[in-house]
Amino acid sequence: MTLHREGFATITIGLLALTLFQWGNFWLLGVTGWLWLFILLSLGVLVMAYLIVQFFRIPKRTFTFGPNDVLCPADGKVVVIEEVEETEYFNDRRIQVSIFMSPLNVHANYFPIGGIVRYVKYHKGLFLVAWHPKSSTDNERSTVVVEHASGQSILFRQIAGAVARRICYYATVGQQAVTGEEFGFIKFGSRVDVFLPIGTELNVKIGDDVKAKLTKLATLK
């Protein structure tokens, strides 16, 4: 397991703040006889330090896939599977699969298919809770479209939540995307939507816990 580069500054600042807090905790409580409160707050500091570090963890994962497989781009839980009108790029009906990422999930995002990146756009927006129906269209978000070798294209969208306030994306138009390579990162709780062609064979259902690069989301036909 490694730590994501997006976390270096956050981890450094967070651990420095916790160190200063613990120093004050020691002098205010540890040396004045409030030992039980000092120990309780010290345990809280250790838990906070662990949570900050684990949020930016990147576990090593090996995976295999077929040429038409769509891999899961994010860790989390499948919260939406429905046919919708996609209005940003395709302007037609698509199957939307939404994955909610809690603060305890790995937050790196990966290309679900390989191909040519045809579209990349960042949108400023609101910070509604990630499971809100309008978060897909109203929240801060980034949209990427990849055209597969079969000629089919899929759109996937990073969506900020009420806590997440920074979306990081690295895809560029014209790039040769490789299945399972990282295309972005979202800091703290968030969501990823995937828009698939009608008729795509799904391999997940609502409520499934999924893992990036390990779960097969669907199969293109």
- Catalytic, out of 98, 136, 153, 190: 190
The pLDDT tens digits for 92-111 are 999 999 999 887 888 899 99
Residues with Cβ within 8 Å of residue 91, at least 6 apart in sequence: 85
What angle separates helix 35-55 from helix 8-25, to the nearest 10 degrees? 180
Q: Is 190 a catalytic residue?
A: yes
Q: Left, alpha or beta for 23 (phi > 0: left; psi -120 to 50: alpha)?
A: alpha
Question: Each residue's pLDDT tens digit in the chain (221 positions)?
Answer: 687 777 688 878 888 998 898 888 777 776 677 787 888 888 988 988 887 787 777 888 888 889 999 999 999 999 999 999 999 999 999 999 999 988 788 889 999 999 999 999 999 876 566 555 555 666 788 999 999 999 999 999 999 876 655 788 999 999 999 999 999 998 766 889 999 999 999 999 999 999 999 999 999 98
The pLDDT tens digits for 55-69 are 777 888 888 889 999
Report pTM.
0.82
Two tokens at 170?
């690295």
